[in-house]
Chain A
Amino acid sequence: MEKDFTRRTFIKGMAVGTMAGYLGAAGLSSTVFKNQLLPQEKLNQVDIGEIKALKIKVVSETSWYDNNVFLNDVKGAGGLLVNQYTIPWTCAGVAAGYQGSNLGGFSTYIEATLMDGKVMKIHFDTGWNPAWMEKRFREEGVAEKLAKKEIDFMVLSHEHIDHFFGLEATLKFYPDIPLYVPKGFYQEGFDFLKGKSFPAANAINNIPHRGKMTVLDSSKVNILYPGIALMTFDVPIILRVFGEQAFVFNVKDKGLVLVTGCCHQGIISYMEEVRKKVKGGEKIYAIEGGLHISPFEDWDPQYDDLIMAFNKYGVQKIGCNHCTGFITAEKMHKAGLPVIKGTARNMTKRDIYLGNGDELAIA
């Protein structure tokens, strides 16, 4: 009997001891010995090289002129998941629009000076309304550079209407322009590039693209030239679009500069990916382009957290516009973030961020 009693208490003690030992070992390994036991994530894996200087010109950031008209087009077609090639976008009768059309477009012109002095000229997105885009291309000298084939290549950030449907305005000047698109384009997108129109969506392109096209995927940081890279994100986007890519430039003595189209991947996710995958990612010097926070001027309290999170990255220049939203820019200014003001011209309504015709130079 005495032995049994001892055995019973021994087993009870062992049960308690096993739990204590397991939990204690787990606790110690995840705290005190964390660095020794947990494999460290490899950071700064890709050295993309350096450029000397960067100039970013906002050709057009005004994708549409009346939010209500745009939203009514979407609602009337069945909502945000409807295929963009089937929606009859409003092209007439809009008082705030360009020649009555609600369609504008997004396009940016970039000059990156390589370390050997060569200037790479990049056409980033081609907008929506071909008439508006051609006007802006002419006003900013982009049309002339396209016609003379001085522009090295075009990058399409993603397949959305306001970044892509103005294709004809580029191809009429330079039909064989080398092109980079992100993986995820639908067949309609490739057909549109080949010269097929979608009249139901007022998407007209009669000029086939005849140049080299490269489809980039998200498996790696795609280095185009030393100091110039594209990162692609597998992200589902409203209006039945998939995938977006954005630029990472590394400007000597400054740091990384991120240039986005719409940033549907999320600006914080984008910065985190850059930190993980690109050498120098701990120093993001500047961001330019759409940040996709309040494109329809709505606000949700969770966006406040997003704005506060910016401080962690120490970004020194924010040249946001487009789908960032005026309300976001206002809140960023109030939070003391270095948002660059614009000049509110060429149909950009306010000077609270970089608008049409404004420029950000980094050297």
Chain B
Amino acid sequence: MEEAKTAEAQEKSGWGSGIAVGILVGVALFCLTYALLIMAK
């Protein structure tokens, strides 16, 4: 029971931190492509 709770908490924590980091990476990627496009002009 305790193990199941821990596993569920770890899964939630994995998703949460993954999404948070992912958003940062996504925004950074967009900024990079935007900068490349501006430079290409």
* A8 within 8 A of partner (CB): yes
A361 within 8 A of B: no
* Total A-B Cβ pairs within 8 A: 92
A32 at the interface (CB under 8 A from B): no
Within 8 Å CB of B30, what residues of A? 21-22, 25-26, 29
Q: How far is the CA of A16 from the CA of B16 in the complex (A)?
A: 11
How many B residues touch the partner, as a band? 20 to 34
Please give 11 more A-B residue pairs, beta carbons under 8 A apart, in addition to A2-B7, A6-B13, A12-B15.
A2-B6, A5-B11, A6-B14, A9-B11, A9-B15, A10-B18, A16-B18, A17-B21, A17-B23, A20-B19, A21-B25
Q: Which residues of B contact A (CB under 8 A)?
A: 6-7, 10-11, 13-31, 34, 41
Dominant SS among interface residues on chain B? helix
Shortest beta-carbon distance from A14 to chain B in Å: 4
Q: Measured between alpha carbons, how far is A205 from B30 in the docked complex, in Å?
A: 64
A215: Cβ under 8 A from any B Cβ: no
User: Which B residues are in CB contact (< 8 Å) with A21?
Assistant: 22-30
Q: Choose from A2, A5, A13 the contact partner of B17 (Cβ within 8 Å).
A: A13
> Using a CB–CB distance below 8 Å, which chain A residues touch chain B?
2, 5-26, 29, 37, 39
7 tightest CB-CB pairs across the interface, nearest first?
A17-B22, A13-B18, A21-B26, A9-B14, A21-B23, A25-B30, A17-B19
Residue among A9, A14, A16 with most chain B CB within 10 A: A14
Which of A2, A20, A26, A39 interacts with B22 by CB under 8 Å? A20
